[in-house]
Amino acid sequence: MIITKEELKSFLKAKNGHPHTLLGMHPMKKGRSPGLVVRAFVRETAQCAVIDLASGEAFPMQLLAPEGFFEAAIPHRTEVFRYQLRATLHNGEMRQFFDPYSFLPTLGELDLHLFNEGNDHRVYDKLGAHVRVINDVIGVSFAVWAPNAARVSVVGNFNHWDGRYHTMRPLGASGVWEVFIPGLSEGELYKFEIYDKQGHLRLKTDPYATYFEAPPNNASIVYDVSKHKWNDGAWLDARRESASRLDHPMSIYEVHLGSWRLKIEDANQRFTYRELAPMLADYVIEMGFTHVELMPVAEHPFTGSWGYQVTGYFAPSFRYGTPEDFAFFVDHLHQRGIGVLLDWVPGHFPRDAFALAEFDGSHLYEHADPRQGAHMDWGTLIFNYGRNEVRCFLVGNALSWFDRYHIDGLRVDAVASMLYLDYSRKEGEWIPNKYGGRENLEAIDFLRQTNDLVHHYFPGGLMIAEESTSFAGVSKPTKDGGLGFDLKWNMGWMNDTLRFFQKEPIHRKWHMNDLTFGMLYQYSENFITVFSHDEVTHGKASMLFKMGAWHIPEKAANLRSLYAHMWMWPGKKLLFMGSEFGQAREWNYAASLDWHLRQYIDHEGVRLLVRDLNKLYRDEPVLSQNDFNPQGFRWIACHDTDSSVISFLRLDKDEKTIFAVVGHFTPVVRKEYRIGVPRRGFWKEIINTNSEYYGGSGLGNDGGRVAELTPYDGHEQSLNLALPPFSTTVFKWSADQG
């Protein structure tokens, strides 16, 4: 026996953190006769031999421990050669295979240097589990970052989840552990067994895993994410050519895949990615939306988190199929002309023991101090953005969704919670930055880096911030001192507008500033006007039931007037599923939308209006091209609080196409109401939310009005209008017809 008793004992107790120094083939140590020593740990094996693949010669191995530890001395051979192990099982069965400890590391010094520096932008191709061919041998390479571990092993069905087998080697001071296991293939379940320096054993899923099994086991699954054959080249070319342009129409349909539709006839089972793709594409095209935004599809164990407590950042959820199925979903929507945005959650992660929390026995991904590392509101942990390897993980994650799945953009969740160290904290519960301020400087740098790299590698890819404060420059380029996002959700507009429409009509005249205040900051950012999932859950009521009216027809009329106001207001658009047909109850993640409500005009009328508003927005360049141009908006009048009426213009640069928008938010019929307009001629009524077609009474302006030479609102001519109750009316003037 060449191995020492102490070394053997340490190995059998699974405490040896440097397996490649013992296992595999090695030259004899100095002081011994020339030769080679080969050691192997093989389960349930009676005999084992080393087979020289060049000559076929067999070298029997000595069993040193009944657990399956074998050793062989090969005298007079000094050059390491290519070999396999031949194991004879106790039942007489024989198998021959390559030794995992006969392969060199799959990561090089440059890979490790870039990772530790935080600058490996394709880290997802290196860490994790990857099917590879090394020296003509097919297998799976595993790599994981666990710098404070004493020993790391890959465990799975292939080794009976025994951490003594397939112990990984540490790669210098990088903190990365690695092993190549020949003979494994796609579909293997695995985890990392980590023996930390405090003597605790931890069973962890792979932070870079691309596929997971269902809870409660949550094992990672080896999966080849590159096998889908893409057919969206034309879409990607067009996206690339439109890079840096935000003047195109963008109307987003926000979707939770698990509750958009369910298989009613099959006990409310979920549809798969492949089943959802054509159904969702058909509906989105019918409705005129340009993009879908998916609530998080990254893997999460608790469905009730809606996907916002992520444990598998690189893996599309198993709930709807495989990663290839998700690729099909995106590909299909692209071929149908629909963009795909994903919600991304780099602001926090859950405390589940099998995932990132205290990954290697230390606070590896999170801050150790709860004043920096714990979210009080959500019971989750905060990433340590100042740690290079954590930043590399998150940046690589963002890039991987664009690279692997061709997505068109990320909507970054809860940005405000990342920007401020005192977010939702009382005095004494947070630590100031190095300058004594409340800004999280490391998070700001991380966001800037991520946005710049997405734009560099994927021109035309969009980065969207859900940011609820007045932090300056969220959608300004980083070169100009901004955060580098393309777009920002307009949370202020959303809150103000809903507050107004929730008022009973008799009180609205005292709150008209809720509708007008937003214009003071409208052009400070590239805004998306949004009514998202957050507004229709947790007791907030559905969009329909928010409306300040007593019965459904009036609520529907209010909702129609709100949506027309929203679509004509500057900014891109986003609406959460179900809100487009005025779902009555709050959104329930575990149930399908109430599609049956479409049989009633109060609901179907809302849907038809949203469809027509999308068509108007897409067909009229003056609207989308001037979403971020302050010259494209002009108030007509916003002072008639007693009547609860506001009016404004949307116009192009040359004022050859002009829209006049009139919102009237009381139940009173005003048959003669005058507004000034900047042009003579005919103003065509193109949207009347009170149309019978949408479920209204039909009162309107008979298709349009001719401007009268009566000065009003500072203009030389004016329109004498009939204003239906609870309505928004849109008129169009163009030079061609003027």
Q: Show which residues are catalytic.
A: 413, 466
Confidence band, pLDDT 50/70/90 cuts, at residue 265? low
Strands 380-381 and 312-316: what pairing? unpaired
User: Residue 548 to residues 508, 604, 621, 641: CA-CA distances in angstroms?
Assistant: 10, 20, 33, 17
Instruction: Tell me how far apart the alpha carbons of residues 405 and 414 are, in angstroms, rounded to a whole number.
Output: 23
Model pLDDT, residue 243: 79
Asked if 142 and 154 touch (Cβ cutoff 8 Å), the reply is yes
Model pLDDT, residue 696: 97
Model pLDDT, residue 76: 86
Asked if 181 and 142 touch (Cβ cutoff 8 Å), the reply is yes
The closest alpha carbon to 609, from 539, 549, 693, belongs to 693
> Is the confidence at residue 545, as pLDDT, over 70?
yes
Model pLDDT, residue 549: 87
Domains and CATH numbers, the chain: 5-102 (2.60.40.10), 109-221 (2.60.40.10), 629-734 (2.60.40.1180)
**End-to-end alpha carbon distance in the chain:** 101
Q: What is the mean pLDDT of the chain?
A: 95
Average pLDDT over residues 107-125: 97
* pLDDT tens-digit map of 392-446: 999 999 999 999 999 999 999 999 999 999 999 998 899 999 999 999 999 999 9
Average pLDDT over residues 603-608: 98
Evaluate the CA torsion angle 406, 407, 408, 414 in order and state its sign. Answer: negative
Any idea which residue has 């954590």 for tokens?
390
* pLDDT tens-digit map of 667-715: 999 999 999 999 999 999 999 999 999 999 999 999 999 999 999 999 9
CA angle 351–355–358, rounded 5-degree value:
65
Instruction: Tell me how far apart the alpha carbons of residues 162 and 217 are, in angstroms, rounded to a whole number.
Output: 16
Decide: helix, strand or coil at residue 452.
Answer: helix
The closest alpha carbon to 254, from 307, 314, 212, 303, belongs to 307
Can you give the pTM of this predicted structure? 0.96
Q: Which two tokens stand for residue 202?
A: 């931890």
Average pLDDT over residues 566-589: 97
Share of the chain above pLDDT 90, in %: 91
> Is the confidence at residue 1, as pLDDT, over 70?
yes
DSSP 8-state assignment for residue 20:
G
Confidence band, pLDDT 50/70/90 cuts, at residue 738? very low
Asked if 444 and 465 touch (Cβ cutoff 8 Å), the reply is no
Neighbours of 283 (CB within 10 A): 17
Share of the chain above pLDDT 70, in %: 99
* pLDDT tens-digit map of 120-137: 999 999 999 999 999 999
Neighbours of 47 (CB within 10 A): 16
Average pLDDT over residues 525-545: 97
* pLDDT tens-digit map of 337-380: 999 999 999 999 999 999 999 999 999 999 999 999 898 888 99
> Is the confidence at residue 737, as pLDDT, over 90?
no
Instruction: Tell me how far apart the alpha carbons of residues 506 and 516 are, in angstroms, rounded to a whole number.
Output: 18
Instruction: Tell me how far apart the alpha carbons of residues 398 and 451 are, in angstroms, rounded to a whole number.
Output: 9
> Is the confidence at residue 632, as pLDDT, over 90?
yes
CA angle 419–421–427, rounded 5-degree value:
145
